[in-house]
Amino acid sequence: MRVVIQRVTKASVTVGDELISSIGRGLCVLVGISKDDTPKEQEYLAKKVQNLRVFDDENGKRWCKSVKDKNFEILCVSQFTLYAVMKGNKPDFHNAMPGEESKKFYEEFLTILRKNYKEDKVKDGKFGEYMQVHIQNDGPVTIPLEAMPDIHFQMTENRTTPRSASGSKTPVAVVRGQPHDRTIERASHYISLLTTSFDGDIDKQQEFLHTLQDYTQGNIQHIPELMLTVIDILPNEKQLLCGFSGFLPQGFSIFVEGDELEQLRIRCPAVEDMTIQQLKDHVQDIKGNAAGASPPVVCKPTRAMEELILQLTRLLPS
């Protein structure tokens, strides 16, 4: 879930010639909802919106008062385009939550805001309509925030010990922390799913780790080749494959267009969405540097991937 918070002197939403909502001083909050979001993200960002200190106090001291402290207003506007990813030069919104489900989720977010503040102080636009949003930014002050969902993972409560490589049934459980903790949390959750999927199969887990290490050492030089290798290691693990996208650089992802694994698709920058066979051909083009081949895409490991490698190295026997 993503929000873009703007400190405003006034803001309003109209649909056609109809004024839907307007506020004076306060916050205008653009709200994006991903297909993986849960109530945890609602609660986290609702608290952040209400407690974010972007206003001055009565003595002019800056950055010390929240919208609640000042008794100002909040205008929320749903905006699925916050989850756009580029498909060539065209934005694609497959990561956003679908319409009806998103509407319910958004309304629940508003309910939390109103419950924790004052109902008449929290206003919104008109979900699903073509809106004109008029924002008079004060400063300007614009702050984007994101609450990362536990993508595809269901964690067992009251467990705090990482699962061992020997096949222990104890899963990894991490208390949701501040944003700077999310990289550690994401890696821990992924390892939990990995060890659950390959219970007792240490060789498979080590093969996955060695693949990531090969990439960091330059033996695998391109992200597409890394993605293909991971798909070969995890051929029937839809959750693991889709979850692996969270460790790739921006613009690269693995996703399933429907419920079937045969609908697996791979996305790379400046390349149309590919099937597994098309990815194999793409990798061969890169390796062979054939005429007309796509240019090689060489990237350093992301911070999330480095954390994943670190945790796996500690967990698995050398």
pTM of the model: 0.53
pLDDT of residue 94: 84
> What DSSP designation does 148 have?
-
Set 81, 161, 216, 250: catalytic member: 81
Highest mean pLDDT among 101-115, 190-204, 281-295, 296-310: 101-115
Is the separation of the CB atoms in 67 and 127 below 8 Å? no
Which member of 6, 42, 79, 195 is catalytic? Answer: 79
Q: Is 79 a catalytic residue?
A: yes
**What's the one-letter identity of residue 64?**
C
pLDDT (0 to 100) of residue 100 = 87
Would you state the structure tokens that stand for residue 127, as one six-digit string? Answer: 């979900």
Please, what is the end-to-end C-alpha distance for the chain in angstroms? 38
pLDDT at 71 over 70: yes
Write out pLDDT tens, residues 248-273.
988 889 988 766 667 889 998 878 78
Pairwise CA distance, residues 43 & 55, whole Å = 22
* Catalytic hit among 55, 72, 80, 247: 80
- Residue 80 falls in the annotated catalytic set: yes
Mean pLDDT value of segment 135-164:
63
pLDDT tens track for 176-196: 344 446 788 888 888 888 888
81 among known catalytic residues: yes
- For residues 289-316, average pLDDT: 74
Model pLDDT, residue 291: 47
Residue 78 has pLDDT above 80, yes or no: yes
E-assigned strand segments in 64-158: 73-78, 85-87, 90-92, 122-124, 132-146
